[in-house]
Amino acid sequence: MALVQPSISEGFGLTGIEAMASHTAVLASDIPVFREIYQDAAIFFDPNSSDSFLQAVKQLELSDRSAIIRKGLALAASYSFEQMTREIWQEFQQKL
C-alpha cells in the first residue's frame, strides 16, 4: 500500500505527511514543494509520464519498504500540527 500524489502544483503536501505518520509509503510528483517537504522519505516520479510512475512503483516494490516507512515516520515526527497552526496564524496576522 502507498499514497500516490500525482500533483502538478501543491501548496504544502500535508496528505503525504499524514500518510507517512500512518506508516504508509509515499509516491509523489517530482515537483519542488514535494522535494522540499518529503526530502528522501518519498519516491518521486514525473507526473506527466506514465513510464516514470511505473518506474516509481517498481522502485517501491524492489526497495526496503520498512526503511522508507522509517524515514517517513521520522519526517512526520518533525512536524507538529500545533506549531503549523501557530505559524499559519502568524502569517495571517501579518497580512491583515
Cell matching residue 26: 509515499
Q: In 3D, which of 20, 11, 74 has the Cα closest to residue 3? A: 20
pLDDT value of position 11 = 85
Condensed to tens digits (0 to 9), the pLDDT of residues 76-96 reads: 999 887 887 888 898 888 887
DSSP-derived 3-state class of residue 10: coil
Q: Find where cell 510528483 sits.
A: 29
> Within 13 Å and on the Cβ side, how many CA atoms surround 68?
21
Query: Yes or no: is domain 2-95 CATH 3.40.50.2000?
Result: yes
Condensed to tens digits (0 to 9), the pLDDT of residues 7-48 reads: 999 888 899 999 999 999 999 999 999 999 999 999 999 999
* Contacts with 61 (C-beta within 8 Å, 6 or more apart), sequence order: none
Assess contact for 75 and 20: CB atoms under 8 A.
yes
Q: Find where cell 519516491 sits.
A: 43
